[in-house]
Structure formats: structure tokens, C-alpha cells
Structure 1
């Protein structure tokens, strides 16, 4: 098989690594890829990001299957375009991808199908949003409606912070249009959990749970990032929580997907808040999370490609996902200054003994040398019988990965 994998992050490096394990896979073209996929087994980076150019490449190279990593091409309709040409592609249609592409659309969908979620209001008008801030309870949550690279959420402790968030989203337009419409919703106090799942539109199979650490500094302080690390499984996702999730969130979501007639053969990611009153859905993503993917795929015993094929064949009801016992902790190494300004171009050295534990994200291969090229540079994973063992393994390995101005949280995996 020849595979086209779209994306350039740590998620895509992990997907390429996992898919390459299947003996039927001969070649994986990664578009545009990164410094990790450049040297991963069976992989070749191709410098294409335009959807029409990717379509031409897939036709010209007789690609057997395309797998879409990030949300942006999904919300722009890449799946619809590929299917129109009779090509196999894994991911939701443009219409179904609105579950991630529009916060207001997804919240209305949740409400319509009885998916347990926080109370909310949608605002198109800046003045009306400011007026609402006079009467809403605090803390409150302000969300950009559109895609904002995982950074479009502000938890506001008081009216002053909320006004600042609304102004920066709607007036200053810090998310280039994504915040022109906003959602203001009830603040839920609890513990977050990520549950990645696979669906064929008729069945949803949840993967092992994960705990993401979004904020940049230890103790979950500082600004939100795309994610600074993950532990899996999430110790807060008990059997009771999982049952509540399946009954009040997952099954109702599936009902909605069916009744809306969504063409959805792909990944659906549930971002949960576990509270004293039960589990609530914060958001949907319609693709694998990053850095959750690096942890979850390290624990997956099943063949990912075979699972994807089952989804495309609408046969997930007969599929089973097997998991290795134990835990995985994934720590993100970032450029100092992220998520603000930072310097690129520093050489990265990785000791041979830990190479299989490193997933590259914001780094490129330049004349055979790996160099930093982004905010979140790479992930280092640790495996163990427990989260504590996995955590120890990850932090030991980090000592053998170096670049100038390396920054990471020291508390990933500590609950």
C-alpha cells in the first residue's frame, strides 16, 4: 500500500510510526511532514499543503489511502474533494467537520441531541457580548467560534478579564476571523479528560483515556498552549466515569451523527470535564489530538491501519481495539518563550538509545541536522507499569535530548 499522510506535527510523526508497522505498507508520503517523518521508516516528505495539489498528487501516485492529521484541511472539505474523485480518505466530510470548526454549531448539536454540556450563549455582536458579561456568573469561559490552533479559549475569573478576552477576540481579531463570533459558557469545575475515538458513522469505539496538560507552566499556570504533555490512561476516568460518558455523551453524539446524515468515517475526540455532578462535554475535535496521539498510540496493541480500514468499510461493529497494559507519559519539549515569541534554528541532539521515544513536531532536517523550527519542538514518551514509572522513564530520557533554550514542564503525569 501507498499512504498519503497529511500534516506536519508530532501527531503525524506518531501516526506515521504506527502505520509503518503494518507489513502491507510500502510507502508513506507525508505532506508536508517534519524532521521526524523525514527519517522515519518507509516515509518521504513532500512539500505540498494545497488541497487541489494534494488531490493531483494522490491521483498521480495511485495513493491507496489518505489519512488527514490536522483539522484545517478537514474543515475546508478535503474529504469531499477526494471522495468526488473516487479516492479513499479517512476523515469526516466538511459538513461533519463543523463539529470542530464551529463552537456554536457543535454546542447547538449537543443541545439538540441531549449531549451533556455546559450552559452557553452565542454572540455575533460585540456590544451584546459585553452586556451579557454584566449578568453572567464568574468564573466564565469565552471561546472563539472558529479554529484557533487550540488557543481560542479564555477562562475568565472576573468581568475585567472577560471584557479583555471578548475585545481581543472580536475587536483586535487575534485569531484572524475565528473570534468574530464567540461562545460564552458556564465554567465547570473539575478535571479534564481526553477520549479519542474512531467512528464509521454507525459505531463509535472509544480509545484509552488521556490527561492533557494545556498550560505552559508547572502547576497548570500561565497561558494555554497546544498541549505541554499527556499521561494515559487518565486516572480520573474510572469505570463509573466511562459509563456516564458512554450513556450521556458518546451514544447521544452517535445518534446525532446518524440523524444528521453526517458522512463521518474518522476520528472523533471528546474533550470532557469530570465534575462532582458527572461528566460534561467541553468540545469535539474531528481528528487525533496532539500530544494525546503520542501517548495513546504507544499503548495501542491493535494495528491502526486495520482499524482505519474497518471504519472505511463501515465494519467497526465487528472490530476490537486491544491495549497494552501499563501507562504512557508524554512530555513536550518546547522552545523557551512559547507560546509567545521564541528563536528557531537551534541544533537538536538525540542519543541513539532514546530515539524510539522521541516524536518530532516543530523541527526540520537541514543538511542531515535536526533543527528547531517551532514552539512545540518534540515529545519524549516514557512507558511503565504505572503512570509513576512511565513518568520516571520519560524524564530520564529527556536528559538525553538537547537543544538550546529547551523548555518543558516538570510535573507531567503528577495528578
Structure 2
């Protein structure tokens, strides 16, 4: 089979690494890819938002299957465009992809499908939104409706903070079109977990629970990032609770979309918070998380390509996922200054030494080869990922490997996985 993976991050390197292991793979292309994906297959310089370019690439290279990493091409309709060319794609069409593309759409669908979530209101008018928050208990959560690269969420502790966030989004339009509409919802407290299902439109296969670390600073301080690390499993969602939780947050959404003639094929990711009243959905994503993908794929024993093919052909019910008993941890190494301004082009050393432990894998994110040297080319540079007999062992192995890697300005959190302990 000829397979194309769309994306350029650590998630896409992990996908390429795992897909490459399938005996069915004849050629593997990654668009646009990074320094790590170049070691697994052939990088092709087509951007993730270039839908005609990606379709042309799939057609020219006679690709049998496209696997989409990030959300943007899905929201822009890549799956629909590929379907017109009779090319299989693992990822939802543009309509169900709005579960991630529009917070208001997702909330509306959650209400219709009776999925437990926080109470909310949607506003486009600044004055009406301000009037609404004046009468609320604080904190409240204010979200830009559209895709804002993980930065469009503000937890306002008082009226002034709420007013400022609404002014930024609705008046100053700091998030552009993404902030033309806002969702204001009650703030829920509790521990969070990521729960991912591989879906075929009706049935699904559950991946183990995981937990992401979004803030740049230790003890979850500082601004949000794309994710500074993750681990699996998350004790807040044990295996004994997977099916019960899926019946609350995965199955109803799949059934609702199927009934509206918009079946969801791909990864349905429920971002959960475990409140006093049980699990509530904070958000849905329509793809693998990054960095959750890395520790999850390290634990997956099944042939991922076979599983994905079963999903695109509507046969998930005929498969099961084989999961390693070990725990896994991913620590993200970022450029100094990330998520604000940072420099690129610094040489990276020590990856081979880090991978001398057979239970460690270093996934590339913001890397590139320049004059034969591996250099930094993004904010999140590497995702050092380790398996261990238990979470403590995985954390220890991971940080031992991290210490062998260096590049100028390298930064990482030293508390990834501690909540799980």
C-alpha cells in the first residue's frame, strides 16, 4: 500500500514510525513532514492547508490511503475532496470536523446528543456578552468559537478579566475570524483526561486513557502551549471505566452524527474533566492529540494500518486493539522562549545516545536537516517518549533519555506524569 500522512509535528512522526512497521506498506509519504519523518518515509513540501495540492499529491503518487494528523485540513474539507477522487482518508468530513472547528457547533451537538458538558451561551455582540457575564458567578470560561491554535480559551476569575477577554475577541479581534463568536460557559473543576476512539462511522475501538500537560510552566503555570508532555494511562480514568465513559461521551455523538447522515470516521478525541457530577466533555477534537499520540502509539501492539483500514471500510467491530501493559510518558523539549518568540537553527545532539535504551523513542516535531546537520525549526522540537513497567519507571527512563539530548535554549517541564503518581 502507498500511504500519505498529512502534518509536520511529533504526532506525525509517531504515526509514520508506527505505520512504517506494517508489512502492508510499500511507500510512505509525509506532507510536509519534519527531520524525523524523513527517516521513516519521503517528505513532500505541500502545506497542510493546501487542499488542492494535497489531493494532487495523493493522485500523482497513486496513494491508497491518506491519514490526517492536524485538524485544519479536516475542517477545510480534505476528506471530502479526496472522496471525490475515490481516495480513502482516515479523518472526518468537513461537517463532523466542525466538532473541533467551532466550539458553538460542538456545544450544540453535545446538547442534541445528550452528552454531559458545562452549561453555556453563545454571543456575537460584545455588549450582550458583557451584560451576561455581569450576572454570573466566577470563574467563567470564555472561548473563541473557531480554531485559535490552542490559545483561544480564557478562564476569567473576575468581571474585569472577562470583559478584557471579550474585548480582545469580539472587538479587537486578536484571533481574527476565530473570535467573531464566543462561547461563555461555567468553569468546571476536577482532573482532566484525554480519551480517544478510532471510529468507523458507527462502531469504535478505544485507546487507553492519557493526560496532557498544556501549560508551559511546572505545576501547570504560565501560558497555554500545544502541549508539553503526556502520559498513559491516566489513573483518573482506569480501564475498568472505559466502556461506561465511552457510552457517555463517544457512542452518543457517533450515533447522532450517523442519524444526521454525517458518519464520523477517524479519531474522536474527548477532552474530559472529572467533576463532582462525573465526567464532562470540555471539548472534542477530531484527530490524534499531540503529544498524546506519542505515548499512546508506544503502547499500541496492533498493526495501526490494519486497524485504520478496518475503520475506513466500516469494519471496526471485527477488530480489537492489543495494548501493552506498560505505562508510557512523553516529555516535550521546546525552544527557549516558546510559546512566545523563539529562535531556530540550533544544532541538536544526543538523540542516538538517548535511544540506546530500547524502551525509548525520540519523536521529532520542530526539526529539519540543514547542511547534513539536524537543527531546530519550531517551538516544540522533540518528544522524548519511554515505556516503563509502571508510570514511575517510565518517567525515570524518559528523563534519563532527556538528559542526553541538547540544543541551545532547550527547555522542558520536569514534572510530566507527576499527577499520575
Normalization by structure 1: what TM-score?
Answer: 0.97
Q: Distance in 1 between matches of 2:394 and 2:312?
A: 34
Which residue is 2:53 aligned to? Answer: 53
SS of residue in 1 equivalent to 2:30: strand
SS of 1:112's partner is helix
Match in the other structure for 2:299: 299
Are residue 407 (structure 1) and residue 414 (structure 2) matched? Answer: no
Report the counterpart of residue 248 of structure 2 in structure 1: 248
Q: Which residue of 2 aligns with 1:96?
A: 96
Q: What is the CA distance between 1:103 and its match in structure 2? A: 0.4
How far apart are residue 238 of structure 1 and its match?
Answer: 2.6
Q: Given the alignment, which residue of 360, 364, 371 partners 2:375?
A: 371
Query: Aligned runs of 1:351-366 on 2, under 5 Å?
Result: 351-355=351-355, 357-366=361-370
Once the two structures are TM-superposed, the CA of residue 5 in structure 1 deviates from its matched residue by: 0.8
Are the counterparts in 1 of residues 366 and 380 from structure 2 also a CA contact under 8 Å? yes
Q: Does 2:185 align with 1:185?
A: yes
Q: State the SS of the aligned residue for 2:165.
A: helix
The CA RMSD measured in Å over matched residues stands at 1.2
Give 1:319-330 correspondences, 5 Å limit.
Answer: 319-330=319-330
Alpha-carbon distance between aligned partners in 1 of 2:374 and 2:240, rounded to the nearest angstrom: 45
- For the Cα contact (< 8 Å) 1:328–1:390, is it kept in 2? yes
Q: Is the 8 A contact 1:18 1:297 kept in 2?
A: yes
State the alpha-carbon separation in 2 of the partners of residues 176 and 237 from structure 1: 36
Q: Any conservation in 2 of the 1:230–1:329 contact (CA below 8 Å)? A: yes
2:200 equivalent to 1:195: no
Give the conservation status (yes or no) of the 8 Å contact 2:201–2:254.
yes
Which whole-Å CA distance do the structure 1 matches of 2:275 and 2:241 have between them?
10
Indicate conservation of the 8 Å contact 2:208/2:239, yes or no.
no
Unmatched 5+ residue regions in structure 2?
none
1:155 deviation in Å? Answer: 1.3
Following TM superposition, by how much is the alpha carbon of 1:394 offset from its aligned partner in structure 2, in angstroms? 0.6
> Does 1:44 find its partner at 2:42?
yes
Residue range with higher mean Cα deviation, 356-365 or 239-248: 239-248
Q: Secondary structure at the match of 1:314?
A: coil
Q: Which residue of 2 aligns with 1:395?
A: 399
1:338-361 deviation line (CA, Å, top 9, x unaligned): 111111111111242324611111
Q: CA deviation at 1:381?
A: 0.9
Q: 1:63 to 1:243 in 2, by over 3 A?
A: closer
Partners of 2:167 and 2:201 in 1: CA distance: 39
CA contact (8 A) 1:38 1:365 kept: no
Query: In structure 2, what is the equivalent of residue 333 of structure 1?
Result: 333
Match of 1:136 in 2: 136
> Does the aligned pair in 1 maintain the 2:126–2:166 contact within 8 Å?
yes
Give the C-alpha shift of residue 239 in structure 1.
Answer: 4.9
Query: Is the counterpart of residue 113 in structure 1 residue 113 in structure 2?
Result: yes
For 1:54 and 1:25, the matched residues in 2 are separated by 20
Structure 1: 5+ residue runs without aligned partners? none
* Alpha-carbon distance, 1:98 to partner: 0.8
Match of residue 349 from structure 1: 349
Identify the range of structure 1 (394-403 vs 348-357) with the bigger mean alpha-carbon deviation. 348-357
Q: In 1, distance between residues paired with 2:83 and 2:263?
A: 11
Give the corresponding residue for 1:34.
34
Aligned equivalent of 1:74 = 74
- How far residue 243 of structure 1 moved from its aligned partner, in angstroms, is 4.6
- How many Å apart are 1:229 and its aligned residue? 0.5
Partner secondary structure for residue 346 of structure 1:
coil
Deviating beyond 6 angstroms after TM superposition, the runs of 4 or more aligned structure 1 residues are none
Displacement after TM superposition at 1:65 (Å): 0.9
Q: How do 1:131-170 and structure 2 match up within 5 A?
A: 131-170=131-170
Q: 1:174: how far off?
A: 2.2
Q: Determine the structure 2 residue equivalent to 1:380.
A: 384
Q: Are the counterparts in 2 of residues 244 and 279 from structure 1 also a CA contact under 8 Å?
A: no
The worse-fitting range, judged by mean Cα deviation, of 144-153 and 169-178 is 169-178
Provide the secondary structure at the position in 2 that maps to 1:282.
Answer: strand
Say if 2:3 and 2:66, in contact at 8 Å, map to a contact too.
Answer: yes
Counterpart of 1:122 in 2: which secondary structure?
strand
Q: Is the 8 A contact 2:254 2:264 kept in 1?
A: no
